[in-house]
Amino acid sequence: MATPPVQVGWVRLPDNSKHPYEEAAVVVHPEGTKSPPGLVHHRPGAPARIVVLVSGSGTNLQALIDAEIADKAQQAQHAEEAQQAAPAFGATIVAVGADRTGIQGLERADQAGIPTFALRVKDFATREDWDRALRDKVAEYEPDLVVSAGFMKLLGPDFLAAFDGRVINTHPALSPSFPGMHGPADALAYGVKVTGCTVFFVAGGVDDGPVVAQAAVPVEADDDVASLHERIKTAERALLVDVVGRLARQGWTIDNRKVTFQ
């Protein structure tokens, strides 16, 4: 069995750091284990910074935006009543990125007043150049967590190296079943009676990284791909908001494939 990572101390972050905490844990990773420092020391009331990547309608993004809005309203209400309360969500979306323009996901971000950017693969000489440009753009926002929410591109090695253990994705099937672009259609074609959605840490393969959480969705006799995917997406949005909030409020470790909230 692999030896778990060991926390050996704390380091003070510079005053101009955009991170919402003052200190980071120093963690030693014995050979064979892998774990990001996670979120270790929040300033009271300061939310975790997240960058969301989208390619389409952005309903998962909207669920995260709505959770942040509800959180702010609740915090304001508590402040008015001179009460102290822990945030219910605990994350703030600092930017939304896309691999294309003219999509509803970017409109949703605009409407919420969130900075956006779009980097198209075809505008770069190579896929690797695009991957590095995406890495650099996302890094400008100093995210604690990157959320790929309906982002229809595989993130490359340079991107993943920069945000190792800090990129999650959501997939509309119960991993390891039905990876790839057509999770609901493949589940329907196979004839399974239960499918669902999976939130996982991106590790470089196709929908195969360490699982953070899953939700089951029954397949109905009269389902077609659209009706099944819509029902999965309802579960997916709730799961994503729950997972992002827990990661933001609690921090996490990844030990081999096991994800643990702190």
CA distance 78 to 75: 5
Min separation Cβ 170 and ligand GRF, Å: 5
Q: Binding mask 156-195 vs ligand GRF (x if CB under 6 A, - otherwise)?
A: --------------xxx-----------------------
Give the C-alpha separation, 176 to 261, whole Å: 21
Is 29 one of the catalytic residues? no
* Host H or E run for residue 96: strand 91-98
Q: In angstroms, what CA-CA distances link 126 with 55, 137, 158, 199?
A: 20, 17, 13, 29
Quote the CA–CA distance of 40 and 34 in Å, as a whole number. Answer: 16
Task: Answer for the pair 147, 53: CB distance below 8 angstroms, yes or no.
Answer: yes
Contact map string, positions 105 to 124, toward ligand GRF, x by CB under 6 A: x-------------------
Q: Which of 21, 34, 57, 182 binds ligand GRF (CB under 6 A)?
A: 57
Query: Among residues 29, 171, 182, 229, which one is catalytic?
Result: 171
Regarding 209 and contact with ligand GRF (CB under 6 A), the answer is no
Among the listed ranges 8-16, 35-43, 51-59, 68-76, the one in contact with ligand GRF (CB under 6 A) is 51-59
CA distance linking residue 11 with residue 72, whole number of Å: 30
Which active-site residues does the annotation give? 171
Binding site for ligand GRF (CB under 6 A): 54, 56-60, 105, 149-150, 170-172, 233, 236
